[in-house]
Amino acid sequence: MPRNQTKRVTIRLTPEEYDRLMWKRIEAAGLTWREFIFKMCTEGKVVSNEALRELNKELRYQGNNLNQLTRLAHQGEIKVIDLSELRKLYERMLDEIMKAGE
């Protein structure tokens, strides 16, 4: 549903402030200028997609590894798996995700 956006808010920045504070963050967050400003005003923060990209990549790799182990277990190729290291990795990744969201 389209919103009735009739009110305007204006701020003034130097060219350096504009470049430094806005565009890099907006591009990293994958938002439009308006979405970025609105999110900053309403939530006070924007989590950058770039910050989570590496964690997402690692999580996909670990998911693939877990799927392979599951497949081997179902085929009877392996009987016992020590997943303690995988659990530690997931806990570290969760900590990083939580920090990025703060």
Could you report the per-residue pLDDT of 65-97, keeping only the tens digit for each? 889 988 998 998 888 778 788 788 888 888 877
Global pTM reads 0.43
Q: Which residues contact 81 (CB under 8 A, 6 or more apart)?
A: 69, 73
pLDDT for 37 beyond 80: no
Return the sign of the alpha-carbon dihedral for residues 54, 58, 61, 63: negative
Q: Which residues contact 65 (CB under 8 A, 6 or more apart)?
A: 86
Chain centroid to Cα 28, Å, comes to 10
pLDDT band at 46 (very low <50, low <70, confident <90, very high): low
Find tokens 């190729």 and name the residue. Answer: 77
Q: Over the stretch 5-22, which tens digit does the pLDDT of each residue have?
A: 788 878 788 888 777 766
Angle between helix axes 84-101 and 49-74 (nearest 10 degrees) is 160
Domain ranges of the chain: 9-46, 50-101
